[in-house]
Structure 1
Amino acid sequence: MDSIRSSQYFTKVTHSLYKNINSILIILSIEGIQHISESVFVGLCRKVGTSKVVAMRRDIVVIGEMVRNQVATSGLSSAMASGSYGEGLRLKGSDIDFMFWPNNHRVIWELSQSQYYNTHRQTLILCDCSDSPPGFTLLYLLSPCTSRFIQRACVRMSNTYYISSSKFREIPLSESLPFNPIPHGPCVSGRYGTLEYDYAHCFVSDFWPPSASPWIYRCHSWPKPHVVDDIVKNGCHFVAIGHKLGNHEDHEWRISFSQAEQKLVYVMNHCQFLTYGLLKLILTEIINNGVGDNDKLLCSYHMKTAVFWVIQQNTIPHWCPQNLLGCFWVCFKLILKWVHEGVCPNFFIPGNNMFLSKIHGIKQQQLFIRLSGLYEKGLAFLLHSPSIRAFIIDVLYNPRNFICTDDHTLICEDEFDRNVFGEIIQNSVTPDQWDIQICIRHLHTIERMVGSTLLTQYQVLKLQHMTARVLQYTAFKLYMETYTPDNRLRYRADKMSCHMLKLAAKFGCITDMLYIAIYYFKTLRYSEALSVIELIKVKLAQPYVIYMDMENVDIEMYIEAVGGQSWSTKMRQAVAWDIRLNNRIHNITELIPEQQSALQRHMRVLFIPPLVLLYMLEILCYRHVDTIRAQTAQDDLQTLVHYDQGQCINLLSRDISWQILGICQEFTGDFQAVLYSYQQSLRQEPYNHIQTATEMRIQR
């Protein structure tokens, strides 16, 4: 009863506090609003990222795409990260958007453009916009198409073969995706681990759409002419979705300006970028909060479009931290105006009203009433945002506090380093079913790039990490494929594999040395594997080691040990992350059921905490050499799994950690402990999708 009264009292006090703050915000002076703007700017830098962090994210994404697209031959597809992820935003709950397009297909707008292509190597597709709404088009084949997938998507109309967008979406182009795909507009969506993905298979045109030509002449002050030229020369894409009110909804394609939009976001100043981030936060935390997916009328694309229009129309003279809330308010009023009028003009083709088929009638009225209610509250409605509220209240309670808006000073060295290494891991290349030739092409491509003076330090570090990943995959792939009675050839392949793994350890982090131990174990060299394990133990025991996704690093020790040193040195001496076991390469026989279980759910790798795998290898090696030490290693593993408080085992990796403990306990015959470990594995977040293997082991 007391707890209920306390809760009611807290609610009453909080409501009173908000009511008073609302009044204060309404009558606040210009200086006060500027002070709050600065505070929100700082808060957004911490939530969305400082200019330095955002630039780093973009550099790492771009270099990964460059490597992939240069390796891709005419028979493969190119790709780009689109949407907020490619733009440098990392907001909780946002999905990751990717676009793929075949290199041997090109879309043209008029027949004269066919002269630029070799029709023996490339299939040409012609646009027909004559009977489609602005921003949409029909696509029909001009030359024979050898792709059986695209042939299946063709429909015959007026003696011409058109590529149907609806049929194209039905084709299993996404069989190789690392998840079970679900249709979502022009994309397929799915989850890989904790990340949600949207994959859009599309077509590309090297030419700018004629219907978007007026945009070029509209760019008087923003963006700059060289940016406009770069955007125009890179053309556009076509995604498989028709206009709901069009004459050919099932067959039409939408013209996509994702690449152009990304370039525009890249040339925003940081205040403009944070305004875009603030609009996305408000959309998620206030406007769409509690609204079902089917009832969410506004999306982040509308927010981005509003920022583009406001910047280009030059309605705000000063985009700066002191005016951040003023910039946000102008954009919010523009969105309110659009909802009232029922018109949201596409930034490149204004005739394409993006509200036309979605925001109209009673839904439009309800949305306008909702937004009007927020507008009437003024900036006070930002207090409903959990991400922003604290920064506003802090200023109201401490109005004389000095706020530093130099975003280069808002993040300390160890925190920035964690951002860098986290970004590299999240963008980590995952080789899957590559042959040796593709591996070699990757290494040659990286070798050509790494000497460029145009690369940033983050891009060089990313290339270094990619090199380690490709070398590790190549080493194990080479061992798998070298089945020959020729001992000399076998010996040479073994020497090459060992050399590649040692080289990868020099390029990578501490835990990349574990792949050497795995290889030695795989090739029955237990004493060599154990010597590597002992060396890794010493390195991982240092208090300055950063375990990614965990906050256990001793900051002072980290700065003392590697502060001010190169990124390469920091990564090699002070960074550890989960081991990724490729599920198509069976290096540890005891984990084959887990790998097969994960493959059934389209998981390409198992994510295993380094210390868990280290102890497992130690147990497996000592089983053949020293049973007492094997038991000691098993005790250490049991203590780690039972009592770790998130210091060495990521919460998401606890499923495989309990599983490995159970596997190792089977060796000693303690089946009650084994059963308990497997049951605990089933109770964890199914991050690695090993439940089938766990249930099989329990039954056995």
Structure 2
Amino acid sequence: MDSPSITPQIETGIQHMSESMFVGLCPIVGTSQQVAMRRDVIDIMEMVTNKARTSNQNTVMMSGSRREGFRMKGSDVDFMYWFNNQPVIWDLSQTQFYNVHRQFLILSVSSESPPGFTLLQLLTPRAGNRVTSALVTMNGGRYISSYKYREITCSDINPNSTVHGPCGSGVLRGVVEYDDAHCFVCDFWPPSASSWIARCHIWPQPQVVRDIVRSGCHFVAIGHKLGNHESNEWRISFSLAEQKLVYSMNHCQFLTYGLLKLFLKEVINNGLGDNEKLLCSYHMKTAVFWMIQQNTIPNWCSQNLLKCFWYCFKLILKWVYEGVCPNFFIPENNMFLSNIHGGAQNRLFVRLFGFYEKGLASLLHSPSLRSYIINVLYNPRLSICTDEQTLVSEIEFDTKMFEEIYGVNSIPASDLYFIIKHLNTVEQFIVSPLTQYQVLMLQVLTASFLHRAAFTLQNMYSNTTENKLMYIADRMSCHMLKLTTKFGCISDRLYIAMYYYKTLRYTEALSVIEMTKVDLAQPYVMYNWTVDTERYTEAVGGQSWSTKLRHAVAWGIKLDNRIIYINELMTEQMVSLQNHLPTLFIPPLVVLHMLEFLCYRHTDTMRAQTALNDLQVLVHHDQGLYVSVELRDISWQILGICQQISGNLRSALYSYQQSLRQYPFHKIQSATLMRIHELG
């Protein structure tokens, strides 16, 4: 079949419609500034995480669409994990670069595998327990079975994971799908991908090529379905290289990639069963890579967005017709070979060709994009502004940025040494060249590490008989918590109040609570992603993000379930941790009223009742402004705990029953049942 050409009907008005689509895609995919912010935040978070890890801990890398900068609805979260002391080499001469006494060397043997796949032979006499358990004997050598390794490591990170491809997959808190891939790393570029370097005349730039080649590759635990050693083979993964390539795209190229992903999800795969969805977003990305490198479209810009999309779609149609989708790095690896052939190939081609015949009208099948096309069709002379500054307001950008920052702020704290090591790592990065988003991320991380360190220190010395040690620990904890006010948002001050309450300093705790209450009551404060746009802009518009964070932002309180913050919540933390959830998330106003009640019951019973009434009104009547749907289980639970402490057992029972009826975001149902049992 000849490669289809763009018809005159498609050419007519394509520029105007492209600009409209550009405007429509930016809120879905993101403006160039939003995408840069997302990448910078994840990059610095990952650098801090990995630099602070010890040699016996996994190195972690987020991969996939979220790492690339997408935040489209339904996107899963992909992570890759590996140990740096288990490197893979391509030939024995590379052993000179490693210490064989400290590292377990692995040799890639690809002579019996299809292109893009290989066997991994263990060279050293010993290895880690997981590698040893996955060994099989072949041709007189010891090889690591991908099937065995995948089964062994599937539930390492998330215990409820199930095997899916090379990953352990599941759903976090019933909301976000994840894929965890345990793999091996190679510091050298694969010889089978050497032709890719020679192809890079125009794109990517030479410095990007050098960076990619220096970064090597990975091996994920899955073999080729048609290979001779499927259970033992490993696929060469270019995830890191792909990430760098996507980062090097201009924004029109990135939007084209996003448009193809949307078209795949909402049009091509719409109505198909899982077994019928033969194309995936990786094929879309591969098409964009090839199209950019082959320089078929000389000008990737907003006016040409739909033309870029159409050329990429034509390439995919051509691949399906021919039954060949060449891997971008190893073209000999036909990614259609195992599943797009025969009758399945014919059915897919007929489906795609039907969309091709409709031309750009096929985009009308996309719910996300339909309105932008119709808008141009009915208003052909409509003036369209593609200036990104007008597409996303300052307040919209701020909201998404703080949501991103607090969403990825999830480094666990196992002990004081580990927390201090992270703080030292942050200090080292401060003197490095950083973007403004990365500086803000480090600021939020610093506040998080400080309050975790303070409570960990207090827990360590709370039962000591050494008064001097307790006094020193207390002074250090107080100092760290007061420092959080210099780095964190308004609600971070509640950690100080929690600490004062835990150490029986009710007057000091109430003083902090009163000041925090005044600040939280300001009409311009952003509660998570809820904010009065006008008031916020009047109060802090145009100011630095650091100033906005400290004076106009309140985010959910995050309690690490391995650290005791408030004795009254120990049961909930224990149960949540037993259900493999590392944290409790509590709305700031719920924490404030709870602490106010707990403190006043020791100093002023009337004010304690007032605080309890405030908490009850908040939990009973809030419409999602201050208590989100996901956090209602813990909010009703806290109300019940306070009512039980006050002696109002009937109301406590009602609150616990309401907690059980909410979405089980924190998996604390057994804690709720225990408390109901206590009521008698």
Shorter-chain TM band: over 0.9
Residue in 2 that maps onto 1:468: 447
Amino acid at match of 1:438: F
Matched, 1:533 2:510: no
DSSP-derived class of the 1:386 partner? coil
Matched, 1:98 2:79: yes
Matches for 1:420-499 after TM superposition, within 5 Å = 420-433=401-414, 435-452=415-432, 454-482=433-461, 483-499=463-479
Contact (CA 8 Å) 2:153, 2:182: kept in 1 or not? no
Q: Aligned partners of 2:187 and 2:490: how far apart in 1?
A: 44
Cα 1:597–1:73 change in 2 (3 A) is closer
Q: Choose the corresponding residue for 1:308, options 289, 302, 321.
A: 289
Q: Aligned partners of 2:167 and 2:405: how far apart in 1?
A: 25
DSSP-derived class of the 1:489 partner? helix
Q: Aligned partners of 2:171 and 2:508: how far apart in 1?
A: 39
Q: Aligned partners of 1:568 and 1:240: how far apart in 2?
A: 43
Q: Aligned partners of 1:488 and 1:668: how far apart in 2?
A: 36
**Shift of residue 441 of structure 1?**
1.7
Contact (CA 8 Å) 1:461, 1:567: kept in 2 or not? yes
Give 4+ residue runs of structure 1 displaced > 6 Å after superposition. none
Residue in 2 that maps onto 1:696: 674
Amino acid at match of 2:35: V
Residue in 1 that maps onto 2:389: 408
Matched, 1:685 2:666: no
Residue in 2 that maps onto 1:554: 532
Q: Choose the corresponding residue for 2:490, options 496, 510, 522.
A: 510
Matched, 1:66 2:47: yes
Q: Choose the corresponding residue for 1:657, options 630, 635, 640.
A: 635
Residue in 1 that maps onto 2:347: 366
Q: Aligned partners of 2:204 and 2:37: how far apart in 1?
A: 22
Residue in 2 that maps onto 1:623: 601
Q: Deviations over 1:181-214 (max 9, x none)?
A: 1211111112223222211111100000000001
Contact (CA 8 Å) 2:154, 2:163: kept in 1 or not? no
**Shift of residue 317 of structure 1?**
1.6
Q: Choose the corresponding residue for 1:600, options 564, 578, 596.
A: 578
Contact (CA 8 Å) 1:414, 1:559: kept in 2 or not? yes
Q: Aligned partners of 2:256 and 2:418: how far apart in 1?
A: 42
Contact (CA 8 Å) 1:48, 1:274: kept in 2 or not? yes
Q: Deviations over 1:144-179 (max 9, x none)?
A: 3341111111111222111111110111464343x6
Residue in 1 that maps onto 2:3: none
Cα 1:223–1:26 change in 2 (3 A) is closer
Matched, 1:83 2:59: no
**Shift of residue 282 of structure 1?**
0.9
Matched, 1:638 2:616: yes
Q: Deviations over 1:250-286 (max 9, x none)?
A: 0100000000001100111100000000011111111
Residue in 2 that maps onto 1:327: 308
**Shift of residue 72 of structure 1?**
2.0
- Give the CA RMSD over aligned residues: 1.6
Residue in 2 that maps onto 1:590: 568
Q: Aligned partners of 2:50 and 2:93: how far apart in 1?
A: 27
Residue in 2 that maps onto 1:345: 326
Q: Aligned partners of 1:27 and 1:338: how far apart in 2?
A: 24
Cα 1:585–1:73 change in 2 (3 A) is closer
**Shift of residue 30 of structure 1?**
4.3
Q: Choose the corresponding residue for 2:524, options 544, 548, 551.
A: 544
Q: Aligned partners of 2:154 and 2:269: how far apart in 1?
A: 32
Q: Aligned partners of 2:539 and 2:637: how far apart in 1?
A: 35
Amino acid at match of 1:442: H
Q: Aligned partners of 1:524 and 1:450: how far apart in 2?
A: 36
DSSP-derived class of the 2:646 partner? coil
Q: Deviations over 1:86-142 (max 9, x none)?
A: 111111100011111101111000000010111111111000001000000000111
Q: Aligned partners of 2:188 and 2:488: how far apart in 1?
A: 41
Amino acid at match of 1:445: T
Structure 2 residues without counterparts, runs of 5 or longer: 1-5
Residue in 2 that maps onto 1:17: none
Q: Deviations over 1:528-560 (max 9, x none)?
A: 11111111111110111111133xx22121112
Matched, 1:674 2:655: no
Structure 1 residues without counterparts, runs of 5 or longer: 1-24
384-393 or 71-80, which deviates more? 71-80
Residue in 2 that maps onto 1:251: 232
**Shift of residue 294 of structure 1?**
3.2
Contact (CA 8 Å) 2:157, 2:180: kept in 1 or not? no
Contact (CA 8 Å) 2:150, 2:221: kept in 1 or not? yes
Matched, 1:206 2:206: no
**Shift of residue 377 of structure 1?**
1.0
Matched, 1:230 2:211: yes
Contact (CA 8 Å) 1:666, 1:674: kept in 2 or not? yes
Contact (CA 8 Å) 1:432, 1:604: kept in 2 or not? no
570-579 or 580-589, which deviates more? 580-589
Q: Aligned partners of 1:514 and 1:291: how far apart in 2?
A: 50
**Shift of residue 405 of structure 1?**
1.1
Amino acid at match of 2:495: Y
Q: Deviations over 1:44-90 (max 9, x none)?
A: 11111000110111111111111112112322221111111111111
Q: Aligned partners of 2:342 and 2:500: how far apart in 1?
A: 68
Q: Choose the corresponding residue for 1:152, options 133, 136, 139.
A: 133
Residue in 2 that maps onto 1:123: 104
Amino acid at match of 2:589: L
Q: Aligned partners of 2:408 and 2:279: how far apart in 1?
A: 29
Amino acid at match of 2:609: Q
DSSP-derived class of the 2:60 partner? strand
Contact (CA 8 Å) 2:400, 2:529: kept in 1 or not? no
Residue in 2 that maps onto 1:3: none
**Shift of residue 31 of structure 1?**
5.7
**Shift of residue 320 of structure 1?**
0.9
Q: Aligned partners of 1:667 and 1:486: how far apart in 2?
A: 32
Q: Aligned partners of 2:9 and 2:514: how far apart in 1?
A: 63
Contact (CA 8 Å) 1:54, 1:88: kept in 2 or not? yes
Contact (CA 8 Å) 1:51, 1:408: kept in 2 or not? no
Contact (CA 8 Å) 1:653, 1:687: kept in 2 or not? yes
DSSP-derived class of the 1:606 partner? strand
DSSP-derived class of the 1:171 partner? helix
Residue in 2 that maps onto 1:161: 142
Amino acid at match of 1:334: L
Matches for 1:556-571 after TM superposition, within 5 Å = 556-571=534-549
**Shift of residue 422 of structure 1?**
0.9
Q: Aligned partners of 1:294 and 1:695: how far apart in 2?
A: 41
Q: Aligned partners of 2:413 and 2:180: how far apart in 1?
A: 17
Cα 1:254–1:367 change in 2 (3 A) is same
Query: When the two structures are aligned, how many residues end up with a matched partner?
Result: 671
Contact (CA 8 Å) 1:104, 1:121: kept in 2 or not? yes
Amino acid at match of 1:389: R
Q: Aligned partners of 2:11 and 2:289: how far apart in 1?
A: 26
Q: Aligned partners of 1:89 and 1:694: how far apart in 2?
A: 38
Cα 1:329–1:30 change in 2 (3 A) is closer
TM-score (norm 2): 0.96
Q: Aligned partners of 2:7 and 2:20: how far apart in 1?
A: 17
- Structure 1 vs Structure 2: percent identity of aligned residues? 65
Contact (CA 8 Å) 2:117, 2:235: kept in 1 or not? yes
TM-score (norm 1): 0.94
Q: Aligned partners of 1:484 and 1:605: how far apart in 2?
A: 27
214-223 or 184-193, which deviates more? 184-193
Q: Choose the corresponding residue for 2:480, options 477, 497, 500.
A: 500
Residue in 2 that maps onto 1:19: none
